[in-house]
Amino acid sequence: MNFDHPPAYLPFGLTSLELAQAQAEFTEYARRRIITVGSDQYDEASHQKIETHSIQELILNIREELADTVNYIAALDLHLERLGRSL
């Protein structure tokens, strides 16, 4: 598995074990982002930037990430609507 990209598409009809494996692979992808992209952004050699964030900074960062997630969901919805109309 290449952990530089999200896990590959899986066809319909997963077993519980296959679904658990897919979840594990996605979790590993997220973990790998910590040691690649995240390292570039947050590693301070002696600690991680997130360790020194105040509660207010953490709340703001999480709220910003949630807003970004909403934006991605809206864009995905647009794509799904267009795909649905093309079928």
- Taking the domains of the chain in order of start, what are their residue ranges? 13-47, 53-87
When pLDDT is cut at 50, 70 and 90, the band that residue 9 belongs to is: confident
pLDDT bracket for residue 78 (50, 70, 90): very high
Q: Is 46 helix (H, G, I), strand (E, B) or coil?
A: coil
Taking only the tens place, the pLDDT of each residue in 32-51 is 999 999 999 999 999 999 99
Of the candidates 31, 52, 7, 68, the one whose C-alpha atom is nearest the C-alpha of residue 39 is 31
**How large is the average pLDDT for residues 64-74?**
97
Cα-based distances in Å from 55 to 39, 50, 67: 21, 10, 18
Per-residue confidence (pLDDT) for residue 1, from 0 to 100: 55
Would you say the pTM of this structure is higher than 0.75? no
Identify the residue whose tokens are 């973990």. 31
Average per-residue pLDDT in the chain?
92
Q: What would the two tokens of residue 42 be?
A: 């947050």
